[in-house]
Chain A
Amino acid sequence: MNRFEYKQFNEVYYEDVCENGLKVIVWHKPLFKSTSCLFGTPFGAYDLQQITDDNEVFKYYSGIAHFLEHKLFESQEGDILSEFSELGANVNAFTSYQETVYYFSTSDEDVETPLNLLLDFVQNLSITEESVEKEKGIITQELLMYLQNPDSRLYFESFKSMYHNNPLKEDIGGSPESVSKITKDDLEECYNLNYHPGNMMIIVVTPKDPNVIMDIIKENQSKKTFPKYKNVIRQIMKEPLEVVTNEKIIEMDVSETKCSFSIKLPVLDTSDEERVKRDWAINLSLQSYFSSLNSDYQKWIDEKKITSYFSFDSDIGKDHSYIIFTDNNDPDTLKEFVLTQFNNFKKTYMSEKDLKMLKNKTLGYLLRLYNNLENISVSYFRDAMNGVSTFQSLNIVQNLDVDYCNKVIKDLDISNNTLTIIKSNSN
């Protein structure tokens, strides 16, 4: 068991790997009453086409990762949610584009039983054709719930406007149509490929003795047999640089017009560390210019170029790269504002002083993550999926310099962009 310590923050975790390849992290929080466990696979809504080492290609309907998440909560004995409740533990799961994770928390003395239950239910898919059909109704209601929320709809439509082939163009849960086509065999096939311990990770954040937790997990895994690990790689079809459409209008029953101006960036083939560094550089640079840190911010509001709802989100991932500006304002005003100010930004750059302040802010943000057990496990898992350790991520931010940030911004090509509008359907 390897021990890692971040002395400045008084945080310690341990890392080990089971014989079957399962990576185990035990993060020790001796002062807390609760334990939080997360069991995750890097299989998410992104994975609509995969290829194995022996060149076998698998294709899935969109929404399959999310569907699988729903169905894993079923067992021959009953349903898993109830079994956790009987132990006094809260269990849940989520699917994102990049991953599917299952997690529980408990303040009960007994951590061993729910921990074994988590390992057992995720490592045993037990479904029937009837139960798969029944789940489609529940998932359809869930999809409708998100679709009628203007905020989530705006994001979803922005991705659809940007991407031709990238799975970001599909909702994480798929569509009622794609969900209706998913079969028991599809679910079993993609489960067998993507839920092997060799590509999964379990993270336990706990006040309990890390050695005891590690032993529980190793013992659990030693009793199970798995087929030989088959390395599987996500296949993303080549994505053109251009967006799908330059403008899209969606009508909904809303009183407030919402819009996004999305910039599609090329995906660069770099190391994980360089990509994470670039991601932070873009994020902090945008914060320095497109926020109230900028002395012009008040003027922009006064001149109605932006509203107080103006915000942005950037993500420089392995398979996608974008910046999305959103506002509840006139869409053309938003577009003109972003294009004009981005060009100004490339001429002015971020100052040393602003970068130092933003580093302070980020340090505070990252420190506060350690107040919450679930935040620790989720951020560790996400960092690991991103190819960096959680403490490495902090060091990357602390070592950023303005010259690097300014060069990244200067080199950004913002010409591939699209405007998405959600407006009232009352007229």
Chain B
Amino acid sequence: MEIVKINENVHLHIYNTDKFKDVSIFIEFLDNSNKHDQTLRNLLALMLEDSSSLYNSKQAVSNLFNKLYGGGFSISFDIKGCARLMEVRSSFVNGKYVDDNKLLEKQFKVINEFLLRPLWIDKEYPKELFEELKEKLRQDISVLNDRPSSYSNKKADLLYGEYIGIKADMNISDLESIQVSDVIGLYNEIINKSIINIIVIGDVDSNDIKKFTKLYLNFENRSSTKEMVYKSNRSEFIEKEEKKKIGQTILQLRYKTNKNVLDSDFPSMIIGNGILGTLPTSLLFQEVREKRSLCYSISSIVYGYDGIMKISTGIDYSNLKTVKELISLQIDKIKTGDYDDSLLETTKKMYINVYRSNSDSAKSIMWDEYRNFIINDGMSIEKMIDEFKKVSKASIMESFKNLELVECYVLRQAEENNE
């Protein structure tokens, strides 16, 4: 990966490979705001994707992208640890496959147009369009709330608070009061102050990339902090049960791990979590699903930038107590090393293979490069694989010793469905 400093806190990364049929360009904008403004941010994404100064109607936008072989421009807002990320993603077919040697420059022009020349740049943003996009976001939020799995995850995260609470905090009531000026204010803040990394992946000439970046994405110097990692410090235990007219109860558990990606034994926590609940061999899957048929899916996920672990499963309410006890028992097994050595070796092998296959996906290549650049922990894929090889039962016990259950949220099926 070639890294070029464009300006202060603005970097270009070029990964040359002819593995893929397209050229992917990612632009990551990072800030550390702790404002509960995910609704506002998501509205900004819709406005930037919908139109631009030059392509000011849905038809014009569709015509443009269809002509360009279904090339795409999308914006998403995510939170990793304490990093608020705006990700611009564009994927265009490599021009060599469609006999168009200008396609790469057209891709940069499109990003420039949609990202830096939004519809509001030289005229007032149309009120009807603003209301239409607010309505779309309102529906997006409602649709998520109507899916029991995403609703329960959201409610549990909101209850937890911290940055996962900020990420989950998209709500319809916020939408009412948002004005165009609020969105433009947020846009200006992100474009002018966030730290920026542009990552290009594909079969490209790096001189072309540098030239087009300078021409179309020449962001100015900026001075910002660049934090991504924190450790959750939630202390008191929270328990909540909510009823919904659904056919299955969803259990959401949240743990404080007291570990994050910067801890030297974090690879042990990843493997320990693999033994606990991410693989078909995992204790949770084997004990809760395979041996007792209590659920269809159950998983545990470690959020290494936050110091949090989540466990979720869909069950019948009558089995709730049993399932909670079983989960607790499996965590105890991780904490005491009470499992077969072969399970440890299997899990290590799985994770090593998963990390090795990251280079087959543009998105994974981008994320590995970006997180290493921001966190600077030297954890390349190769280094991580080496660390996985060293993990032992003892190191997993050590990494899990401070794991603490801090939240239990239950989305309970209504009585009539329980009969």
Contact = CB atoms under 8 A, between A and B. Distances in A.
A105 B245 contact: no
Contacts of B19: 31-32, 371
Interface string B50-65: 0000000111011101
A362 B281 CA distance: 40
A82 interface: yes
Nearest to B65: A361
B58 to A, nearest CB: 4
Contacts of B362: 371
Contacts of A301: 132
Given A141-B296, A364-B93, A253 B244 contact: yes
A86 B296 CA distance: 22
A362 B69 CA distance: 7
Nearest to A134: B293
B346 A82 contact: yes
A150 B146 CA distance: 7
A297 interface: yes
Given A364-B71, A368-B22, A256 B352 contact: no
Interface string A338-369: 00000000000000000001101111110110
Interface stretch (B26-34, B81-89, B353-361, B390-398): B353-361
Contacts, number: 192
B61 to A, nearest CB: 7
A363 B22 CA distance: 12
Interface in A286-310: 291-295, 297-298, 301-302, 307-309
B25 to A, nearest CB: 15
B62 A256 contact: no
B280 A82 contact: yes
Interface string B347-370: 101101110110111100000000
Contacts of A149: 147-149
Interface residues of A, number: 70
Interface string A98-129: 00000001111000000000000000000000
Q: Which of B63, B67, B70 is the most central at the interface, judged by chain A CB atoms within 10 Å of its CB?
A: B70
A79 B282 CA distance: 12
A425 interface: yes
Contact of B17 (A31, A86, A141, A328): A31
23 contacts: A79-B290, A81-B280, A82-B280, A85-B346, A86-B342, A86-B349, A107-B357, A141-B296, A141-B316, A145-B296, A151-B147, A253-B246, A292-B61, A293-B62, A295-B59, A307-B139, A328-B139, A357-B63, A360-B68, A360-B70, A361-B70, A363-B70, A371-B21
Given A84-B280, A86-B346, A328-B139, 15 more contacts: A79-B290, A82-B280, A82-B281, A85-B350, A90-B354, A144-B248, A145-B314, A151-B147, A256-B143, A291-B62, A292-B61, A307-B139, A357-B63, A357-B67, A425-B245
Interface of B: 17-22, 57-59, 61-63, 65-71, 91, 93, 97-98, 128, 132, 135-136, 139, 142-143, 145-149, 244-248, 279-281, 289-290, 293-297, 314-316, 342, 345-347, 349-350, 352-354, 356-357, 359-362, 414
